[in-house]
Amino acid sequence: MSAVAILGASGTIGSAVARKLVNSGRRVLLVGRDPEKLDRLGAELGTPTAVVDFRSSQPLEAALVEHGESLGGFSGLVNCIGSLLLKPAHATSDEEFRQTIETNLFTSFALVKAGGRLLRDSGGAIVLFASAAAEVGIQNHEAIAAAKAGIVGLARSAAATYAPNNVRVNVVSPGLVRTELTRRIWESSAAAGASRELHALGRLGEPEQIASLTQWLLDPANDWMTGQAIGLDGGLSRVLPKRRPAGG
Ligand SMILES: NC(=O)c1ccc[n+]([C@@H]2O[C@H](COP(=O)([O-])OP(=O)(O)OC[C@H]3O[C@@H](n4cnc5c(N)ncnc54)[C@H](OP(=O)(O)O)[C@@H]3O)[C@@H](O)[C@H]2O)c1
pLDDT of residue 246: 65
Model-wide pTM > 0.95: yes
* Closest atom of ligand 1 to CA, residue 176: 3
- Residue closest by Cα to atom 2 of ligand 1: 177
For residue 94, how far is its CA from the centre of ligand 1 (angstroms)? 21
d(CA 47, CA 68): 13
Tell me 87's DSSP state.
B
* Closest atom of ligand 1 to CA, residue 104: 45
For residue 244, how far is its CA from the centre of ligand 1 (angstroms)? 32
3-state SS string for 201-238: CCCCECHHHHHHHHHHHHCHHHCCCCCCEEEECCCCCC
CA angle at 231 for the pair 45 and 190, rounded to the nearest 5°: 85
Query: Would the CB of 11 count as within 6 Å of ligand 1?
Result: yes
Decide: 172 and 235 in contact? Cβ < 8 Å.
no
Query: Would the CB of 231 count as within 6 Å of ligand 1?
Result: no
Whether the CA torsion 233, 115, 106, 4 is positive or negative: it is positive
How far, CA to CA in Å, does 190 sit from each of 113, 162, 187, 197? 42, 45, 9, 11
For residue 248, how far is its CA from the centre of ligand 1 (angstroms)? 33
Query: Would the CB of 180 count as within 6 Å of ligand 1?
Result: yes
pLDDT of residue 243: 78
Q: Which residue positions in the chain have pLDDT lower than 50?
A: none
SS3 content of the chain, % helix, strand, coil (to 5): 50, 15, 35
Ordered structural domains, the chain, with CATH: 3-175+211-231 (3.40.50.720)
CA angle at 83 for the pair 49 and 126, rounded to the nearest 5°: 55
| pLDDT (tens digit per residue) in 199-211 | 999 999 999 999 9
Query: Would the CB of 82 count as within 6 Å of ligand 1?
Result: yes
Query: Would the CB of 97 count as within 6 Å of ligand 1?
Result: no
For residue 128, how far is its CA from the centre of ligand 1 (angstroms)? 12
d(CA 162, CA 46): 32
| pLDDT (tens digit per residue) in 136-155 | 999 999 999 999 999 999 99
For residue 76, how far is its CA from the centre of ligand 1 (angstroms)? 19
pLDDT of residue 1: 76
Query: Residue 123, exposed/middle/buried by CB under 10 A (0-12, 13-18, 19+)?
Result: middle
**Helices then strands, each counted (H, E), the chain:** 9, 7
- Residue closest by Cα to atom 25 of ligand 1: 81
